[in-house]
Structure formats: structure tokens, C-alpha cells
């Protein structure tokens, strides 16, 4: 198993260039199959990107897992959520017991669910939940930083270690998820800091806030940015000041996937914000980031655009837990089935299509 002792070492490993030869071989494979060229759209290009990441056109996604990073956020004290932090622990127990929505979806997709306690408030642990606690919840970002510089580094390295461990166990497709009351507030703050937008543009209703609740949430994000003054040129500073243990852990998972040559499926806003932090830390990590869907949260499209990623699904999803990422796994299976098993132009006796000027 690959080990990373420092963020700098992790970023060096994650920044290795993609394999253009493997990408070209995957592209040639698609072109040889009996179908109009490029007619499977993103399903084709995502497998070409996966080949470039893994270094081989022989793709196997039979082992897959979703890492669900769970943590609490001190900003909940500002009335920015419908429920209190006790909900994080309750859902974490459900994840460990295999009862939550992502668990049922993952069972249908033949995907293992790995819940991780990164810092659930006053959580004594539960069967099936890995303990990787960085702290007992984060600080209230409207009053000061969410965490220390040491904690953000620990959380990122923990996420990378988890991704590397999955790769060493034979997992060839990773999905990211999260559970943490208040984390649409922290993710909005991180997105605002990184993309230079005001809170009113990027702050959404999360799990269904009222107008009054949304106003409190916008005010909390605004206050957090004013008090902490995160440096947009320094993703570690942004994460430490207005992020969360879950976002930092997912950031590490994207970096770990890039370092180990494993595709990592981003989920919704919180996950894609983590991916953006990873790419800002190490631009080469973008090769491991694969968008699953576009969240209903207002910052979602802007974050995907900043990443240069196109989602497979547009279904108005906003549940979290990695549900959107897991929902697109069957599309990966279908794409690979065609790629690996479909007949060629030669086999079916049809003259091969040729790229033409103005064609797709």
C-alpha cells in the first residue's frame, strides 16, 4: 500500500502525468466497435480518461467502494440547519448498519460502503464505522477557524490513506460521499473563497431551509468569510478556516486516487468542492476526478465548471452520502460492457465509419 507522510509527498505522487498512450489505445478501441463514432458521448470519453489514469486500456471496475466521510460542523450553532448535530451520529450508525439510502443503492450497484468517522460530535463509535477522528467536530466558522493547520493536514492525509488502502485491497473504482449536518454551509463558504463569489450567490437551502433559515445561512457564510479572510490562493488555508473534516478527508481521497491510479467519483456540491480543493493543491489530480451528477445547490454548476468536469446525471439530487456518485456506477458498468464485449465493424460485416469534417 502506498503511504504518504506529508501533503507535499502526496501531491508529488498525485501529480504524475496521465498516460496518453493508454488514452489513445482506448480511443482506438471505441472507434473499432460497430457504432457511430462517439455516439456514446461521455461514456466513451470517461473510459478513455480512466485508461489514461490507470495506464492501461484494459479496464476492470468489478471492485468498487464508496467512502462516506462523516463529521460535525460548529456552524450549526448559528441556526443554519433544520436538525441538530445529533442527526450526524444517527445517520452514521445507519451507514454502519447498512440501512441508509446510499447503502441500499450501493447494494444494487454491487458497491461496498465504508463509513468513516472524521469527527462526529461526541460520537462513541458504532459497528461498521471506521474511526479516523481528527477532532470532536469543527469550530464555528462564524467565530473563527474551523480547524487548525495541523488538523487540515491530518484530515487530508487520512483521506489519501483510505483511498490508498482501498486501491491496495483491489478496489478499482472509488466513490466519495459525506454526512455532516451543516456541511452545505461549510462547502458554500469554501466555494465562495476559492471562486471569489459572495455568499448570496452560492448559499442554498441544503436539506430544505425556510426563507428565514436561508437568510441566517447566507449571513453565516458572509460572516465566516469576513472574520477568517481565507486566502483563495492557498487551499489549505481555505479548508482550515471555513471547511470541515469531511471536506478535507474527501480532498485527500481525490489526491490518493490520483496517486494510486484509481478513478474517484465526485458526488454533489460538498464532494466537488473537495475535488476543487484537491485540484487547486495539485492540478495533476484532476485526472482522477470524475463527475457523477450536478447537485441542486446553487454553487454546483460553477464548481463543476471550475473543475472542467461534465456530470453524467442531471436529476436534481441533493441527498448526499455519495448517493449521486453511486447512482452513476451502473453507467460505468454499461460503458465497460460495450467497450470490452461489443462486436467490431469487421465482425458484423459493416464498413467502418470514418471521421468526417464537421462530424462529431
Is residue 321 among the annotated active site residues?
yes
Q: Among residues 296, 330, 352, which one has the least CA distance to residue 111?
A: 330
Q: Among residues 82, 75, 67, which one has the least CA distance to residue 118?
A: 67
Beta strands in 122-164 (DSSP E): 130-131
Cell 506529508 -> residue: 6
Q: 261: which 3 cell numbers?
A: 491510479
Q: Which of 44, 48, 297, 321 is catalytic?
A: 321
Q: 13: which 3 cell numbers?
A: 505522487
Instruction: Give dist(CA 291, CA 184) in Å, integer.
Output: 18
Cβ-based neighbour number of residue 5 at 10 Å:
8
Cβ-based neighbour number of residue 131 at 10 Å:
12
DSSP sequence for 27-52: HHHHHHBSS-TTTTTHHHHHHHHHHH
Q: 249: which 3 cell numbers?
A: 478527508
Q: 162: which 3 cell numbers?
A: 483510505
Note whether 72 and 117 are within 8 A (CB).
no
Instruction: Give dist(CA 353, CA 360) in Å, integer.
Output: 12
Residues catalogued as catalytic: 321
Amino acid at each position: 500500500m502506498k503511504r504518504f507522510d506529508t501533503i507535499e509527498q502526496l501531491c508529488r505522487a498525485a501529480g504524475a502525468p496521465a498516460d496518453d498512450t493508454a488514452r489513445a489505445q482506448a480511443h482506438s478501441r471505441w472507434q473499432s466497435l460497430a457504432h457511430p463514432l462517439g455516439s456514446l458521448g461521455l461514456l466513451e470519453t470517461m473510459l478513455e480518461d480512466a485508461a489514461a489514469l490507470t495506464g492501461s486500456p484494459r479496464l476492470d471496475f468489478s471492485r468498487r467502494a464508496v467512502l462516506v466521510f462523516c463529521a460535525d460542523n460548529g456552524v450549526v450553532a448559528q441556526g443554519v440547519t433544520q436538525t441538530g448535530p445529533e442527526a450526524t451520529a444517527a445517520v452514521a450508525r445507519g451507514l454502519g448498519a447498512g440501512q441508509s439510502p446510499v447503502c441500499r443503492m450501493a447494494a444494487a450497484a454491487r458497491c461496498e460502503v465504508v463509513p468513516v468517522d472524521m469527527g462526529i460530535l461526541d460520537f462513541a463509535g458504532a459497528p461498521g464505522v471506521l474511526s479516523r477522528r481528527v477532532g470532536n467536530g469543527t469550530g464555528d466558522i462564524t467565530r473563527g477557524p474551523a480547524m487548525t493547520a495541523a488538523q487540515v493536514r491530518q484530515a487530508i492525509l487520512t483521506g489519501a490513506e483510505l483511498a490508498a488502502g482501498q486501491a491496495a485491497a483491489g478496489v478499482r473504482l472509488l466513490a466519495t460521499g459525506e454526512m455532516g449536518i451543516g456541511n452545505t454551509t461549510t462547502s458554500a463558504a469554501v466555494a465562495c473563497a476559492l471562486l471569489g463569489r459572495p455568499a448570496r450567490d452560492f448559499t442554498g437551502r441544503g436539506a430544505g431551509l425556510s426563507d428565514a433559515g436561508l437568510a441566517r445561512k447566507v449571513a453565516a457564510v458572509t460572516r465566516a468569510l469576513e472574520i477568517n479572510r481565507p486566502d483563495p490562493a492557498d487551499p489549505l488555508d481555505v479548508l482550515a478556516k471555513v471547511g470541515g473534516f469531511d471536506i478535507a478527508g474527501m480532498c485527500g481521497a481525490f489526491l490518493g486516487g490520483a496517486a494510486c491510479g484509481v478513478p474517484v467519483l465526485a458526488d454533489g456540491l460538498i464532494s466537488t468542492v473537495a475535488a476543487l480543493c484537491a485540484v487547486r493543491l495539485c492540478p495533476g489530480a484532476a485526472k482522477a476526478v470524475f463527475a457523477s451528477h450536478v447537485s441542486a445547490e446553487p454553487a454546483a454548476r460553477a464548481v463543476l465548471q471550475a473543475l472542467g468536469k461534465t456530470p453524467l446525471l442531471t436529476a436534481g439530487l441533493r441527498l448526499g452520502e455519495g448517493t449521486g456518485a453511486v447512482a452513476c456506477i451502473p453507467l460505468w458498468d454499461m460503458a465497460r460492457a460495450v467497450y470490452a464485449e461489443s462486436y467490431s465493424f469487421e465482425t458484423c460485416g459493416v464498413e467502418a465509419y470514418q471521421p468526417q469534417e464537421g462530424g462529431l
